[in-house]
């Protein structure tokens, strides 16, 4: 879907801070689409040796972005926790 300037700015602002949770982030990709009045999102974050995935849907695209960030934050924290356990 084509993103409005406001939604683009919101996505950039909300998702740009994920790198503070991990220095191992290589790349990230967000896909948003609308289907029958629902907005769907898939957020992939590539970290060293793994791809983390978050999927969600809501009636508001901004809400989808917020939820995807929260889900991905949890995935990244879990990934980092496992890395720390390996290095002990």
Beta strands 50-58 and 38-47, pairing class: antiparallel
Identify the burial level of 68 via C-beta atoms within 10 angstroms of its C-beta, where 0-12 means exposed, 13-18 middle and 19 or more buried: buried
Provide the whole-model pTM.
0.89
pLDDT digits (tens, 9 = 90+) for 27-40: 999 999 999 999 99
Q: Is the pLDDT of residue 69 over 70?
A: yes
Domains (ranges, CATH) in the chain?
5-86 (3.30.160.100)
């Amino acid at each position: 879907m084509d993103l409005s300037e406001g939604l683009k700015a919101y996505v950039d602002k909300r998702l740009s801070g994920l790198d503070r949770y991990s220095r191992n982030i290589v790349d990230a990709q967000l896909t948003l689409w609308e289907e029958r009045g629902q907005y769907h999102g898939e957020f992939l974050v590539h970290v060293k040796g793994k791809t983390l995935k978050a999927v969600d849907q809501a009636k508001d695209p901004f809400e989808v972005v917020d939820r995807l960030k929260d889900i991905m934050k949890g995935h990244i924290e879990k990934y980092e926790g496992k890395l720390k356990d390996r290095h002990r």
